[in-house]
A = this chain, B = another copy of it.
Amino acid sequence: MTSSKKPDKYYAILEGALKVFAENGFHKSQVSRIAKEAGVADGTIYLYFKKKEDILTSLFQEKLGELVEKFNQGVGEHMSARAALMKVCEIHFSELENNIHLAYLTQIELRQSDMLLRQEIGLALKRYIILIENILERGKREGSFRPDFDVKLVRLLIFGGMDEVVTSWLISGQKYSLTAQVGPTIDFFMKGIEP
């Protein structure tokens, strides 16, 4: 349970920023627009954030933190490795399908060119990455997965695959159901394409 020590306005600004960034992208978003969206004065933003970029960074950390939390709550140790992997994919797809602003944030804004930012994101995602790797290792131990694959590489391939599916769905205009792709996706991860 995360006790929210931060004042309401902090979150109001983040929510405003989430909307404005999703609509215009970081660079085309004006601070004053975020302030208006959050219902505060321009200057108030600077009581909570040092620079415009800090809003983006904090937004990532808060939102990715929440997301990672959901993965950790949704996936239990009692599940079979395969079931756990499916759960991960379900949560990944459904959370983003149900929160289009968050989807924009993660699939589009997250890919900023700033190397520093990328590395911060990496940290925020670390727990998610570890969760997937743990499942893979557990599957190997339990014998439900092949014993001979490189966990780190496969983790990248699985994460990258899901990520691309979400991005494609987003860019295409969300014309189809993302959660409907969970089954076939897991099927591919498990069996590959070899007959």
Contacts and interface: CB of A to CB of B under 8 A. Distances in A.
Interface in A64-103: none
B153 A193 contact: no
A141 to B, nearest CB: 12
A73 to B, nearest CB: 24
A11 interface: no
Interface string A107-127: 011011111001100100000
A194 B163 contact: no
A165 B156 contact: yes
A59 to B, nearest CB: 14
Nearest to A109: B113
Contacts of A27: 27, 113
A56 to B, nearest CB: 11
Contacts of A113: 25-28, 108-109, 111-112
Contacts of A122: 171
Contacts of A191: 146, 191-192, 194
Contact of A161 (B161, B168, B195): B161
A154 interface: yes
A53 to B, nearest CB: 12
A145 interface: yes
A171 B160 CA distance: 14
A41 interface: no
Interface of A: 25-28, 108-109, 111-115, 118-119, 122, 136, 139, 143-147, 149-150, 153-154, 156-165, 167-168, 171, 181, 184-185, 187-195
